[in-house]
Amino acid sequence: MRPLLKLSRRPVKSVCECVYGTVARVVYLRLFADRTTPQPGRLNKSPGATRAFATPQSMMVGALFAGAALIALWFACATGCSKSDTTGAGALSFAQTRPGALKITPIPFGEMNGREEYNASDIIPIADSRFLFCDNNTDDALFELDLTPDGRKNGPLIRRPLRGLAAGAAHDLEDMALVEEGGRRYLFLTSSMQVRRTKPPGGVLRVTINPDETLVAENMPDFRGWLIRAYPQLAASAQIKPDDGGLNIEGLAWDRNRHALLFGLRTPTQDGKPLVLPVKVKNLAGPWTTKNLEAQTPIQLSLEPVGDEQGIRCLYNELDREGFLVIVGKTTKDSDAPYSLYEWDGNAGGAMRLFNVVFAKKMKPEGITRGSIGGRNALVIVDDGGGFQVIWEDIRLP
């Protein structure tokens, strides 16, 4: 006679892991009379328990009851173990994989950039509840993301053209920095600077945000060549692909103390540590040429070991406070290194503080900023896979 229900041990193990956090030992009563002999260490060592499963009718009832109980536990695990709040703007939860960690899951944009997902690479605030992000597949525009007071997407994304750029002047825009000086607002953008066969390497844009919020952009000629000459440690990586350790810039921030743009490298790393290249801008409103720049001493950032190397995926300068937020992640596509979020006070030694934050497995966080939404302060993170997430200020990062 075949069993009425064939219960896999794998779901039972998963349920136990969910409920208890560790693998529990499952002790069960067998469903057949010829196998219910009392055994030391089993719960069925009582003669009453042996007789309870001795008839076919009781076998069927027991099997159905066991199956129903397992299904109930399975659904409880699937819906309850993450402890995610999906009733609000998105899923923020405290992950069980790392004690006390805040788990961040993206909210999809819910629309496509043509046939592709929006590859949101960085984000900055322009007004309450309004943000701009760059897409590394879009060379001639930024996109406006508007949010409701509870942090939800408010209407479709708005394309904001970058005026004044020659065709093909910019591509693979990876990070941005917002600077306010002399009563004017500037937005600086960097391309990855990676070597390309079919296109010239991208440059650095200075974008003036006019009072009517139009965006007028200038590209700096020969910035990549100047950077490689100014920092000899880049020479070996200048002509090879990023997945082989070639030059790949994915971070940009403004350091008001150094009056410098900070370029954060995904690759190459130096002695296993990501590099920040401070480039002083002599006059923000001056001619947008390399003569207006001055190279400063590179900085190596210190990271907690995670196995594989991590490179910089975003640098963000706090507008109204000292310090920077730094997102790091895998240096190459074959790496298993996770994304991590750090705080850096700008010290030349590169010491940083790691936040106890875990990003969802498929999330690729490449931009972070602080702004106000409905009058409330919050961090906004964008996902290179086509989404965003809001972390309200009253949710302190662990």
How far, in Å, CA of 335 to CA of 38, rounded? 53
pLDDT band at 377 (very low <50, low <70, confident <90, very high): very high
Task: State whether 257 and 139 are in the same domain.
Answer: yes
For residue 288, the model assigns a pLDDT of 97
Task: State whether 283 and 176 are in the same domain.
Answer: yes
Task: State whether 251 and 314 are in the same domain.
Answer: yes
- Tell me the pLDDT tens digit for each residue of 211-230: 999 999 999 989 999 999 99
Strand 260-267 and strand 141-146: the pairing is unpaired
Closest by CA position to 368, among listed 91, 124, 141, 150: 124
pLDDT band at 166 (very low <50, low <70, confident <90, very high): confident
Share of the chain above pLDDT 70, in %: 76
Asked whether residue 1 is assigned to any structural domain, the reply reads no
Task: State whether 112 and 238 are in the same domain.
Answer: yes
How far, in Å, CA of 194 to CA of 175, rounded? 14
Asked whether residue 85 is assigned to any structural domain, the reply reads no
**Has residue 2 got a pLDDT over 50?**
no
Task: State whether 67 and 123 are in the same domain.
Answer: no
φ, ψ for residue 19, nearest 5 deg: -75, -45
Task: State whether 186 and 300 are in the same domain.
Answer: yes
Asked whether residue 275 is assigned to any structural domain, the reply reads yes
Task: State whether 98 and 63 are in the same domain.
Answer: no
How far, in Å, CA of 305 to CA of 266, rounded? 16
Give the total number of structural domains in the chain: 2
For residue 263, the model assigns a pLDDT of 98
**Has residue 108 got a pLDDT over 80?**
yes
- CA triple 290-291-294, angle to 5 deg: 80
pLDDT band at 320 (very low <50, low <70, confident <90, very high): confident
Better-scored residue on pLDDT, 63 or 292? 292
DSSP 225-277: HHHHHH-GGGGGGTTS-GGGT--EEEEEEEETTTTEEEEEEEE--BTTB-EEE
**Has residue 59 got a pLDDT over 60?**
no
Q: Which of 33, 53, 80 is the last residue of a domain?
A: 80
Residue burial 189-228, b: 16+ Cβ < 10 Å; e: rest: bbbbbbbeeeeebbbbbbbbbeeeeebebbbbeebbebbb
Task: State whether 36 and 145 are in the same domain.
Answer: no
Q: What is the CATH number of the domain that holds 157?
A: 2.115.10
Q: What is the CA radius of gyration of the chain?
A: 27
Better-scored residue on pLDDT, 205 or 318? 205
Task: State whether 76 and 96 are in the same domain.
Answer: no
- Tell me the pLDDT tens digit for each residue of 22-50: 333 333 333 333 433 444 333 333 334 33
How far, in Å, CA of 304 to CA of 340, rounded? 9
**Has residue 164 got a pLDDT over 80?**
yes
Looking at residue 165, what DSSP letter applies?
Answer: P
For residue 78, the model assigns a pLDDT of 40
Q: Which of 49, 80, 111 is the last residue of a domain?
A: 80
Please give the torsion angle defined by the CA atoms of residues 85, 88, 91 and 96, in that order, rounded to the nearest 10 degrees.
-20
Strand order, beta sheet including 352-354 = 310-317, 324-330, 340-344, 352-354
Task: State whether 97 and 153 are in the same domain.
Answer: yes
Mean predicted confidence (pLDDT) in 170-184: 94
How far, in Å, CA of 136 to CA of 192, rounded? 9
CA dihedral for 263, 266, 271, 273, sign (positive or negative):
positive
Residues 121/382, Cβ–Cβ less than 8 Å = yes
Strand 101-104 and strand 357-359: the pairing is parallel
Domain that includes residue 373, residue range:
92-392
Mean predicted confidence (pLDDT) in 226-249: 96
- Mean pLDDT taken over the chain: 82
Residues 396/387, Cβ–Cβ less than 8 Å = no
Q: Which of 32, 47, 80 is the last residue of a domain?
A: 80
Residues in the chain: 398
For residue 97, the model assigns a pLDDT of 64
Question: Which strand (E) or helix (H) includes residue 13?
Answer: helix 9-20
Asked whether residue 314 is assigned to any structural domain, the reply reads yes
Asked whether residue 257 is assigned to any structural domain, the reply reads yes
Task: State whether 104 and 233 are in the same domain.
Answer: yes
Asked whether residue 249 is assigned to any structural domain, the reply reads yes
Asked whether residue 398 is assigned to any structural domain, the reply reads no
Asked whether residue 397 is assigned to any structural domain, the reply reads no
The partner residues of 265 in beta bridges, in order of sequence, read: 249
The 3-state DSSP class for residue 323 equals: coil
Task: State whether 144 and 110 are in the same domain.
Answer: yes
**Has residue 278 got a pLDDT over 90?**
yes
Residues 174/157, Cβ–Cβ less than 8 Å = no
